[in-house]
Amino acid sequence: MTELHLHLDGSLRPETVWELAKIQGIDLGAKDIDELKFMMKVPDDCKTLHECLERFDVPLKVLQTADAIERVTFELVEDLSNIGVDYAEIRFAPQLSTEKGLSQDEIVEAAIKGAKRGMEKYPNIKCGLILCCMRNENIEDKNLQTIETAKKYMGDVVCAVDLAGAESLYPTEMFENVFKKANEYNLLRTIHAGEAAGPDSIRKALSYGTKRLGHGVNAIFDKELMEELIDKGVTLEVCVTSNYQTKVVDSIDKHPVKKLFDAGVRVTVNSDNMTVSDTNIHKEIKILKEQLGFTDADIEKMQKYAEEARFIK
Ligand SMILES: [Zn+2]
């Protein structure tokens, strides 16, 4: 089983977050583990992408030390291995863990260490790390630092860069310089686009040279763009539960993933956030089969697309 789109901070064990908060002397505002679990999960009536993104505030509070980052990366590799994933690309934004003075290099080193420890203990799984730049204002320096860090550690578990965050507030075109630098360094990349914004955002992402898109589902509104995705062999990392929660679609059965797949777009199935969205690759596949009309053969084809698009061969 291959998982291409999974956020580290959205996939932490609540028990670990609880324990880390204790170790670090941080008040998370939860009276017990059940309340913490509730705070780390998207509520059923979540209204906007922004409200969903707030679920990441809690985990990030405890992800400000090297020990914590090493531990949660190890644990995620362990959790993935335990559910039968044999290849996973885990992504996170190093710039969000610098609040207590860690450098992006130190943060990435900690994650590499955790991933390696996981792969040593569970040799049946291979993992890569994708470093996310963030959509925000006045953070070009931080994003460029992420690119430098990616260049430094590329090939040592680190396999690519990404752009994540609030797409409707900070359009893809704001990040021209960041991807210019990524091009200069020949870094592999994927870009979150066509999730909270439309085809223009996807076109801009493609102009940055990406062969993979996080979500990309709003391509469904533009036939020409869909043709372009097919011609260029662009792979879409689709996360159905997450798209429903962030209101990309009103209901699961209205999700365009089957239409994209039937049209010939290279669609893959992914979790996005195992804890925040309370899902995993098996649950996502079940939804595709039970609610969206995918056959076993379709699922197999999607897994093949995922294998062909993975950053570490
Ligand atoms: Zn994502």
Residue 226: the pLDDT is: 98
Q: What's the whole-number mean pLDDT along residues 48-59?
A: 80
pLDDT score for 157: 98
pLDDT of residue 247: 86
How do residues 143-181 score in pLDDT, each as one tens digit? 999 999 999 999 999 999 999 999 999 999 999 999 999
CA of 105 to the centre of ligand 1 (A): 22
The answer to whether the predicted template modeling score (pTM) of the entire model surpasses 0.85 is: yes
In 3D space, the residue among 278, 210, 289 whose CA is nearest the CA of residue 245 turns out to be 278
- Spacing, Cα 202 to ligand 1 middle (Å): 15
Asked if 121 and 159 count as a contact pair (C-beta separation under 8 A), the reply is no
Categorize the per-residue pLDDT at 113 as very low, low, confident or very high, splitting at 50, 70 and 90: very high
The whole-number pLDDT of residue 91 equals: 98
1 CB-near residues (< 8 Å, 6+ apart): 83, 84, 85, 86, 87, 281, 282, 303
Q: Give ion ligand 1 contacts, CB < 5 A.
A: 214, 272
The average pLDDT across 48-53 equals 72
Q: How far apart are CA 80 and CA 119, in angstroms?
A: 11
Residue 26 CA to ligand 1 center (angstroms) comes to 27
For residue 172, which of 107, 112, 218 has the smallest C-alpha distance?
218
State the catalytic residues. Answer: 195
- Distance from the first to the final alpha carbon of the chain: 15
User: What average pLDDT does the structure give for the chain?
Assistant: 96
Mean pLDDT, to the nearest integer, of 272-293? 97
Residue 140 CA, ligand 1 centroid: distance in Å: 20
Q: How far is the CA of 195 from the centre of ligand 1 (A)?
A: 9
2-14 residue pLDDT tens: 999 999 999 999 9
Handedness of CA 178, 51, 245, 300 (dihedral sign): positive
Q: Ligand 1 center to residue 132 CA distance, Å?
A: 10
How far, in Å, CA of 103 to CA of 223, rounded? 44
Residue 150 and residue 300: Cα distance in Å, rounded?
Answer: 32
Answer whether residue 24 shows pLDDT above 80. yes
Which pLDDT score, from 0 to 100, does residue 18 have? Answer: 97
Please state, in angstroms and rounded to a whole number, the distance separating the CA atoms of residues 137 and 224.
31
**50: pLDDT strictly greater than 90:** no
pLDDT higher than threshold 80 for residue 182: yes
Model confidence at 56, in pLDDT bands (50, 70, 90)?
Answer: confident
pLDDT in the model for residue 51:
73
**How remote is the CA of residue 21 from the centroid of ligand 1, in Å?**
25
Residues 71-107 have pLDDT tens digits of: 999 999 999 999 999 999 999 999 999 999 999 999 9
Among residues 11, 20, 5, 42, the alpha carbon closest in space to that of 247 is found at: 42
Give 231-270 pLDDT, tens digit per residue: 999 999 999 999 999 889 999 999 999 999 999 999 999 9
In the chain the domains, ranked by start, together with CATH numbers, are 2-309 (3.20.20.140)
Pairwise pLDDT comparison (48 vs 185), residue with the higher score: 185
The proportion of the chain whose per-residue pLDDT surpasses 70, expressed as a percent, equals 99
Determine the average pLDDT of the residues in 51-66: 89
Give the pLDDT of residue 52. 76
**φ/ψ (deg, to 5) at 30:** -110, 135
Contacts 24+ apart (CB under 8 A), 12-19: 12/40, 12/59, 12/72, 12/75, 12/76, 12/275, 13/72, 13/75, 13/79, 13/275, 14/40, 14/275, 16/71, 16/72, 16/75, 17/58, 17/59, 17/62
Tokens representing residue 213 in the block = 């898109």
pLDDT at 29: 92
